[in-house]
Amino acid sequence: MHPELGHQEFRTTSALRARLEQAGLHPRVLPHGTGLICDIRPGLAEESPDGPPLLALRADIDALPIPDTKDVPYRSTVAGRAHACGHDVHTAVVLGAGLVLAELARAGALPRPVRLLFQPAEEVLPGGATDTIEAGVLDGVGSILAVHCDPRVDAGRLGLRAGPITSACDRVEVALSGAGGHTARPHLTTDLVTAAAKLVTEAPALLARRVDTRGGLALTWGRIESGHACNVIPQRAELSGTLRCLDLATWRAAPDLVHAAIDELATLHRAKCELNYVRGVPPVVNEPAMTALLREAMTARCGADSVESTEQSLGGEDFSWYLEHVPGAMARLGVRPPGELRARDLHQGDFDADESAITTGVELFTAAALLDH
C-alpha cells in the first residue's frame, strides 16, 4: 500500500527490518540505506567462515511511477506509484519463506544456510543488482533463486525454463538537430520531423537485417518529441526507446550495430545526431540444475501438474547480474485468478495478483531450501 521507487525504498526497508528482527533474526541494511540481507543458519548459529555456501532467495522491492487504478482495499495510497510489476508479491514470498525457515532453523530442521536478499531499484537501468553485488551480497553465496509474477499463468502454478528465460534490455536515446524553418520551404531546412519519422520506421528494419534473426533483436520506440507549431519545421527532435535481444552474443554486438544504423540514417537525411546508448541488463539464463531444483520443490509441494514450460520473455530482469557470479534460476510465479480469462499485464495500472500465489511462492522456496543440501 506504500510503494516506493528505486533507491527510495526506505519505508519498505524499515518495515522488512522490523519484521525480521521481531522473528529473532539479524538483518543488515545495504550501504545506500535501501534494501537488506538476512542470513538464516541451522540452529540460528552465528556466521561461520568454514560453513557451507548460502542459498540466496532474492526479491526486488521497488515500485513503478504509474497510478494504481485497481479498486481493492490494498491499492496504493501513494499518488502516481504502484507495484505494477509484482515486486510486493516477490517481497512477501521471500519474507514469508524466511520466517518459515527461521522456525525450521530454530527447531534444528534447516539443512543449510539461507540468505534473504531484498534488492532495491530493479526497475532502474542497469538495475540495483549491480550495486548490491558491489556491496558484497554474494559473499559466501553458492546459488540463488528468484520468482517473477506472471499474469498469464494461473495462481498455484509455476512456469519453468532451463536456459534463457528473459531477454537483454538496453535503452536508446537519440537527439537530432539541424536547420529549421517554414513548412512552406522544407527544401531549405533539415526537415527534422521527417528525419525522425524515417528513423522510427527504418532503424528497426535496418537492424533486423544486420543480425542473425535467431538473436531476436528488436528496437522499439516509446517516445518521439519535436516541434510546437504546425507551420514551423523544428531544429531539434528527440527519440527514445528500448532495444531487446534474446541471446548474449547479439546483446554484446548491439551497441555498435545501433550506432552504425542511426548514424547512417541521420546522415542520409542531413541531420546531426547524438546517440546515448544506455547499457541495461543481459538475459537471465537459468542454470539447468537449479531449474531442476525448483521443479522438484514445486512438485513436492503442489504436484507434478503444477509445473508448466514457459517461453523466453522479451522483458528484462537484473537478476541476470547475479547469474554472472553464481548459478541460479528464476521461475514464473502464476498470479492469475483461476478462471479469469483476461491477463492483467505487468506495468499496467490495473495489474493485480491472486494472493494465494504468495502461499505458493513461500512453499516453493521453503521446499527448495530443504532440498538444496
148 is in an annotated binding site: yes
Looking at the domain assignment, is residue 1 inside a domain?
A: no
Looking at the domain assignment, is residue 199 inside a domain?
A: yes
Residue position matching grid coordinates 495478483: 353
* Apex 218 CA angle, 214 and 219, nearest 5: 155
Residues 232 and 336 in one domain: no
In three-state secondary structure terms, 161 is coil
pTM of the model: 0.93
Domain encompassing residue 232? 168-281
CA distances from 242 to 209, 220, 238 (A): 18, 6, 14
Residues 87 and 100 in one domain: yes
Domain endpoint, select from 221, 254, 281: 281
Looking at the domain assignment, is residue 5 inside a domain?
A: no
Among left, alpha and beta (phi > 0; psi -120 to 50; other), residue 44 is left
2 is in an annotated binding site: no
87 is in an annotated binding site: yes
Residues 182 and 36 in one domain: no
325 is in an annotated binding site: no
The total number of structural domains in the chain stands at 2
Residues 207 and 344 in one domain: no
Looking at the domain assignment, is residue 299 inside a domain?
A: yes
Domain endpoint, select from 281, 313, 335: 281
Q: What is the pLDDT along the chain (373 residues), one digit of tens a residue?
A: 899 999 999 999 999 999 999 999 999 999 999 999 999 999 877 766 678 999 999 999 999 999 999 999 999 999 999 999 999 999 999 999 999 999 999 999 999 999 999 999 999 989 999 999 999 999 999 999 999 999 999 999 999 999 999 999 999 999 999 999 999 999 999 999 999 999 999 999 999 999 999 999 999 999 999 999 999 999 999 999 999 999 999 999 999 999 999 999 999 999 999 999 999 999 999 999 999 999 999 999 999 999 999 999 999 999 999 999 999 999 999 999 988 877 789 999 999 999 999 999 999 999 999 996 5
123 is in an annotated binding site: yes
Looking at the domain assignment, is residue 48 inside a domain?
A: yes
Residues 172 and 162 in one domain: no
How far is residue 170's CA from residue 280's CA, in Å, rounded to a whole number? 4
Residues 246 and 264 in one domain: yes
